[in-house]
Amino acid sequence: KNQVEQSPQSLIILEGKNCTLQCNYTVSPFSNLRWYKQDTGRGPVSLTIMTFSENTKSNGRYTATLDADTKQSSLHITASQLSDSASYICVVNQGTGANNLFFGTGTRLTVIP
Amino acid sequence: DAGITQSPRHKVTETGTPVTLRCHQTENHRYMYWYRQDPGHGLRLIHYSYGVKDTDKGEVSDGYSVSRSKTEDFLLTLESATSSQTSVYFCAIGGDNTEAFFGQGTRLTVV
């Protein structure tokens, strides 16, 4: 069964600290993996995309890693800011066509001053 | 927001009444989706469309119907709303190896 699991479910960190969010998937075939950020009351917005051949990709203070062999990805946030408080959703794309997106349930990150 | 507009943004309705949510896109994208988001479940696919008049069911389609008479509009209808359909509904475009762009969401409360 195609599944995407994220951990932890929620996380509270102090402003300025780093954190790492995890995503494990069993989706096959695999085309790419995206991390989305969802602010409260808004729709998800893509942070990074990683294809099969990519191991690491950065977007500012966000760094995503992908191990396609173990089917694991992580999102590392450096020097967290209050504005990083949001839900982070891992989405795996099987490839061409419609109905090919598999969503994790997200990690709720709260950054406190 | 990639040219996706959902309406209404908020709605309160009574059990048993019909409700229609609208998604409008200006990106001319072929694929459109309706999801619901509930605590502990993440985003779950209700219905999707792969072209005008071409739609298919997702994993939680019971109690919902959709229509797509134009490329830009994708309507989600709750024929007879129930309290279990209280949720936040998101429309999205994309797929087919492209990024999925989401609307701002519609918060629906069925009382």
Over residues A51-64, the pLDDT tens digits come to: 888 899 999 999 99
| pLDDT digits 0-9 by tens, B41-62 | 889 999 999 999 999 999 999 9
Mean pLDDT of the B18-42 span = 94
- Give the 3-state secondary structure of residue A1: coil
Contact B52, B68 (CB under 8 A): yes
Strands A101-103 and A86-93, by their bridges, are: antiparallel
* pLDDT range class, residue B2, cuts 50, 70, 90: low
Check B100 against A95: CB less than 8 A apart.
no
Q: What is the pLDDT of residue B110?
A: 97
Percent of chain B with pLDDT over 90: 87
Neighbours of A57 (CB within 10 A): 16
Q: What is the pLDDT of residue B83?
A: 97
Q: Cβ of A1 under 8 Å from any chain B Cβ?
A: no
Q: How far is B25 from chain A (nearest CA, A)?
A: 15
For residue A44, cis peptide bond before it (omega within 30 degrees of 0): no
Q: What is the pLDDT of residue A53?
A: 87
Intra-chain end-to-end CA distance of chain B, in Å: 30
**Spans in chain A with pLDDT lower than 70:** none
Closest chain B residue by Cα to residue A103? B43
Residue B1 has pLDDT above 60, yes or no: no
Q: What is the pLDDT of residue B96?
A: 67
Please identify among residues 22-81 of chain A the ones whose CB lies closer than 8 Å to any CB of chain B.
Answer: 31-32, 34, 41-46, 49
Contact B48, B55 (CB under 8 A): yes
Check B96 against A42: CB less than 8 A apart.
no
